[in-house]
Chain A
Amino acid sequence: MRTRSLRQAVANAVAVVAIIGIVFGAVTACASTDQDQPAPTASDQPGAPGGPNAALGMGAGGALGAAGSAASAITALGGLGQAQGAAQNVRDLGAQYSTDGQALLDQLKQGAGGTLDSEPTADQQATLADLRARNGEQFDQAWLRAAGQLQQQARDAANAVLADENASDEAKAAAQDALDRLDSLTEGLQEAAAPSGATTPKAVDAGSGGQAAGDVTPAAIVLVGLGALLLAGALWWRRRAA
Chain B
Amino acid sequence: MVAAPGGLTVEAGQGTLEFDPPAGRGAVAPGRHPAEPGDGAAVPGHGGRVPRALVAAGSVLLLGGLTMLAPGPGAVATPLGAPEPQARPGPDPLDLHPGGPVVDGELARLLAGEAPAPEPIRAGTPPVELALPARGLRAPVVAVTTGPEGALVVPEPPSTVGWWSPSALAGGAGGTTVLAGHVDSRTGGLGALAVLRHVTEGEEVVLLGADGRSVGYRVTARRQYTKAELPPEVFAAGGPPRLVLITCGGAFDRSTRHYADNVVVFAEPA
Contacts and interface: CB of A to CB of B under 8 A. Distances in A.
B261 A199 contact: no
B123 A132 contact: yes
B144 to A, nearest CB: 8
B236 A207 contact: no
B178 to A, nearest CB: 9
Interface stretch (A93-101, A102-110, A215-223): A215-223
Contact of B126 (A138, A197, A211): A138
B202 interface: no
Interface string A1-27: 111111111101100110010011001
Interface in A143-177: 144-146, 148-149
Interface stretch (B82-90, B108-116, B243-251): B243-251
B137 interface: no
Contact of A126 (B17, B65, B121, B221): B121
B68 A215 contact: yes
Interface stretch (A31-39, A59-67, A82-90, A178-186): A31-39
Chain A's interface size range is 35 or more
Main SS of chain B's interface residues?
mixed
Contacts of B220: 40, 45
A223 B65 contact: yes
Interface in A112-141: 122-130, 132-134, 137-138, 141
Contacts of A42: 176, 233, 236, 238-240, 242
B186 to A, nearest CB: 5
A216 B75 CA distance: 13
A21 to B, nearest CB: 9
Nearest to A37: B223
A241 B31 CA distance: 12
Given A126-B174, A204-B180, A207-B191, A213 B237 contact: no
B136 interface: no
Given A203-B150, A208-B182, A210-B257, 14 more contacts: A1-B41, A5-B48, A42-B242, A125-B121, A127-B174, A130-B173, A196-B145, A197-B165, A200-B146, A203-B227, A206-B193, A207-B185, A208-B186, A212-B190
Q: Which 5 A-B pairs have the closest CB atoms?
A: A197-B145, A1-B41, A42-B239, A126-B174, A9-B51
6 contacts: A32-B261, A36-B224, A38-B231, A127-B174, A145-B166, A200-B235
